[in-house]
Structure 1
Amino acid sequence: MRSLKNFNVFNKKVLVRCDFDIPIDEKGNILDDFKIRQSLPTIQYLITRKANITLISHLGNPDGKVGVKLKLDKIAKKLREYLDFPVAKADDCVGPEVEKYINTMDENSILLLENTKFHSEEIDGDVSFAEKFSFLFEIFINNDFADCHTFYATIAGIPQYLTSGAGLFLQEEIDNLNKIINDPLKPLVVIIGGEPNEEKLNFIDEICKIASWVIVGALIKEELARKEMLFKNQDKIIYPVGFTDSFDIDGSVLEIFKEKISLAKTIFWYGSMGKIEQEKYSKGTLFIAKMIAESGAFSIIGGEKLIKLLTGQGLISNFSFITSGGEATLLYLSGEKLPGLVALE
C-alpha cells in the first residue's frame, strides 16, 4: 500500500477522503473537533507541496437526504481557522458546479465538498458514483481509517478508478495498530470496556490468541454471563470478580487490574470501565489511566467517550497513540480485511 509521501503531488488535483464525522449538537455546532485536527498534517503536507486540494467526507447518517444540520459549512470554517488558508465549500459533492470549480481552482485554495451521504449511492457503495470523481482528479488519498470497514463509494470505490494511497493519519493508524498484532512487546495487556456488542466479543476472542491478559469491564462480564459464552483462551480473561455494580469499578478490583498493568510492555485500551458521563462513576477509569501512565508501556487508547474524558482530565498525552477508528480498529486487530484498505493495495 502506497502512502501520500510516495507521490509527487505538485500541481496535481488531489482528492482527500477525510473523517469529519464528528460530534455535533442539535443545531449542528461542533462539540469536539479532534478528528478535524487529525486531518491537518495530511492537508498541510499537500499545501506545502502546491497540490490542488479537494476534501471529501460524510457527517452523520442522513440516509441519502439533504439535512441542514449535517452540512459541512461549520467544518469548513473550522478548517480555515486551523489552516489559516482559504477553504471554499461546495453545495454538493458531484455535479456541474463542482466540476467547474475543480477545473478552475489553483494551489492557493482548498475545496471542501458537501456531505457524501446526502447521496444514497455513497451508502450503497455504488461504483458508478465513485467513477464520477475519477474524471476530476489525478490522485486519491484516503485519510479516513474509521470508515475503512465499510464499502462506501468514496472509500472503496474511488481507488478502482484513480491512483490511490494512504493519508498520513491513516498510515499512522496502521503502523501503530500493527505494533499490537505484529510481534508486540510482552506482556501485552488488553483492556476492553464500555457497552458490549458483537464486534467487541469477537475481538476479545481473537486478541486472546496473542495477549498476555485481557481485562474486561462489568457490562461485558454481564453480557458474557447472560449468553453463557466462554472464550478459547478463557484463562487469559480477567473479570471484575465479585463486583456487580456496572456503573464503576471499586478498589479491590482495581488492585487486581493494577498488578497486570504494572507488568505490561504493551497496552491496548478500548472503552471506559464505568458510566463516565457522570463524574462520580469515572474514578475507576481515571485510576486505570494513571496506572497506564506509570507503567511506561507503549499504549494505544480508543473509544469516543473514553478519549473525551481523558482529554478533559489532561491525561490523554500520557498515551503513545490515540486511535479514532472505532469499529474499524477492533475489526483490524481481529484480523478482518477492511474494504477501504484492500482497495489501496
Structure 2
Amino acid sequence: MALRTIRDVDVQGKRVLMRVDFNVPIEDGKVLDDWRLRATVPTIRYLTERGAKLILMSHLGRPKGKRDEKYSLRPVAQRLSELLGQTVKFADDCIGEVAEKAAAELQPGEVLLLENLRFHEGEEKNDETFAQQLAKLGEIYVNDAFGAAHRAHASVHAITKFLPAYAGLLMEKEVTHLGKLLEAPDKPFVAVLGGAKVSDKIGVIKNLLTKVDALLIGGAMAFTFLKAQGYETGKSLVEEDKLDLAKSLLDEAKEKGVELVLPVDFVVAESDAEDAVTKVVPANAIPADKAGYDIGPETARIYAERIKSAKTVFWNGPMGRFERAPFKAGTKAIAEALAECPGTTVVGGGETAAAAFEFGIADKVTHVSTGGGAALELLEGRELPGVAVLKA
C-alpha cells in the first residue's frame, strides 16, 4: 500500500505537527522502557535536520478525558531530550493558549512535546472541534504512531481534515513490512501464534489461513484447540465457549491445505509461581490437577525447525508465561529460531516485542512492530483509520 510520506514534502521552516506513540511505562517520573521513543528517532531527526519546527503529540495511559498528573508526558520529554542530545521543550497542555504560544516560539530544528492528548475527552471521541484546535498548532501533519493507527481518534483521524497529512518513516516501515506478509510473502510462509485466547486471534487466524503454509499454535490458546479434539487439558486455561470455533478453524485449515500444528508436549505445574515445581508431559497426558504454562521441549524443537526452514515468518504471542522463570524456555526457543531464520521475520507488537528484546533477538529479525492491536487488525485484512487517511 503506497502512502504519502514526509519525503514528499518540503518542511523547511514549517511547523510540523506529528502524532507519535509514546505510550510507555513510567515509574517515579522515569521512563522504564524507551523502545517506542527510539523507534521514532529516525523520523524526528529527518524532520529537524531539514529545518522543521517539530511539535510532537501523544497519548499516555487511560486518564479518561481528565488531567491526571500520573499520566503526564513530562518524563518522556526528559528521556527524549537524552536520546536526541537536544532539549525537548514541553507544553503543559496540547491545545489552547499554552500550546499555541509554545508552538509559535519554536525555531527550525527545535522539538516541542505537548501534554497528554487524552487529558481531553475530544481525543478519543474523534471530535472535530478538538482536532481543529490541535491543527491550529501546525502547518503539516505527520503520523508516525502506528501503534495508534487502528483507533479513529482526533489526533489520528479527524485532524487530517484540517492539515495536509503524511506518514512518518516508522509508519511507512510498519505498513510496508506487515503489508508484504499479506500481499507477497515468500513461501513457505509460517505464522506462529501464541497468547491466551483464541477469541483475540480469530480474525488473524482466518485471514492468515488464506496466506500461510503452516500455522504453529502455542500459548494457552492451544488448549482450546486440543480440547476441541477431545483431549483432557487438566486445569489449563480453555475457552469453553470457543470449542466449536476451534473445531471449525481446524476444519478450515484442512480444507485449505494449511498445516495447523499443535503442541505435542507441555510444561505443567500446579500454579504459575516463580518457584513452581514443573514437569514435562505429552499433550495427551496432562494431569487433572495441573495446568500447562509453556510448550514442552519437543514442541519447541519441532517449531524451531519449521521456523528456520521458512522463507517468511510472522510471530505474535508468547508460547507460555515467559515472564516467570520456569516457563521461559518455549518462548525463548521460538525467539532464537527466528533469529536464525535466513528469510523475512516479522514480530507482532506488545508482549511478543517484549520477548524479542528480553531474549536479545530484536536486532536479528527483519522487523519488530511497535503496534500490538494495530498489527493484528492489519493482518486481519482490516483497513486502519490512521493509515487510510495517508494513502497516496
Distance 2:224 2:31 in 1: 34
**Counterpart position of 2:350:** 304
> What are the residue-to-residue correspondences of 1:287-298 with 2, within 5 Å?
287-298=333-344
Distance 1:107 1:197 in 2: 49
**Counterpart position of 1:53:** 54
1:265 CA displacement: 0.3
Aligned with residue 240 of structure 1, among 243, 263, 277: 263
**Counterpart position of 1:66:** 67
Per the alignment, in what secondary structure is the counterpart of residue 31 of structure 2? coil
Distance 1:94 1:339 in 2: 23
> What are the residue-to-residue correspondences of 1:42-191 with 2, within 5 Å?
42-191=43-192
Larger CA deviation: 262-271 vs 163-172: 262-271
1:108 CA displacement: 4.5
Tell me if the contact between 1:80 and 1:86 (Cα under 8 Å) persists in the aligned partners: yes
1:247 CA displacement: 1.1
Per the alignment, in what secondary structure is the counterpart of residue 20 of structure 1? coil
Distance 1:100 1:24 in 2: 28
Q: State the TM-score, normalized to the length of structure 1.
A: 0.95
Alpha-carbon distance change, 259 to 84 in structure 1, aligned in 2, over 3 angstroms: closer
Tell me if the contact between 1:218 and 1:239 (Cα under 8 Å) persists in the aligned partners: no
Tell me if the contact between 1:28 and 1:70 (Cα under 8 Å) persists in the aligned partners: no
1:236 CA displacement: 2.5
Alpha-carbon distance change, 287 to 108 in structure 1, aligned in 2, over 3 angstroms: closer
Distance 1:246 1:337 in 2: 36
Residue by residue over 1:292-336, the C-alpha shift from the partner in whole angstroms, topping out at 9 and shown as x without a partner, is 222312101123333223323322222111001101101101110
Aligned with residue 313 of structure 1, among 347, 354, 359: 359
Alpha-carbon distance change, 197 to 24 in structure 1, aligned in 2, over 3 angstroms: farther
Larger CA deviation: 185-194 vs 251-260: 251-260
Q: Which amino acid letter does the alignment assign opposite residue 275 of structure 1?
A: R
Residue by residue over 1:130-177, the C-alpha shift from the partner in whole angstroms, topping out at 9 and shown as x without a partner, is 011223311000000111111110000111110011000000001111
Q: Which amino acid letter does the alignment assign opposite residue 84 of structure 1?
A: G
1:195 CA displacement: 2.1
Alpha-carbon distance change, 305 to 134 in structure 1, aligned in 2, over 3 angstroms: closer
Identity %: 34
**Counterpart position of 2:204:** 203
Higher helix share: 1
**Counterpart position of 1:13:** 15
Q: Which amino acid letter does the alignment assign opposite residue 109 of structure 1?
A: E
> What are the residue-to-residue correspondences of 1:246-265 with 2, within 5 Å?
246-265=292-311
Structure 2 portions without partners, runs of 5+: 229-239, 265-281
Q: Which amino acid letter does the alignment assign opposite residue 390 of structure 2?
A: L
Larger CA deviation: 102-111 vs 66-75: 102-111
Structure 1 portions without partners, runs of 5+: none
Distance 1:46 1:7 in 2: 10
Tell me if the contact between 1:86 and 1:108 (Cα under 8 Å) persists in the aligned partners: no
> What are the residue-to-residue correspondences of 1:25-44 with 2, within 5 Å?
25=27, 27-44=28-45
Alpha-carbon distance change, 117 to 223 in structure 1, aligned in 2, over 3 angstroms: farther
Tell me if the contact between 1:193 and 1:270 (Cα under 8 Å) persists in the aligned partners: yes
Distance 2:324 2:19 in 1: 35
Q: Which amino acid letter does the alignment assign opposite residue 263 of structure 2?
A: P
1:65 CA displacement: 1.2
Per the alignment, in what secondary structure is the counterpart of residue 274 of structure 1? coil
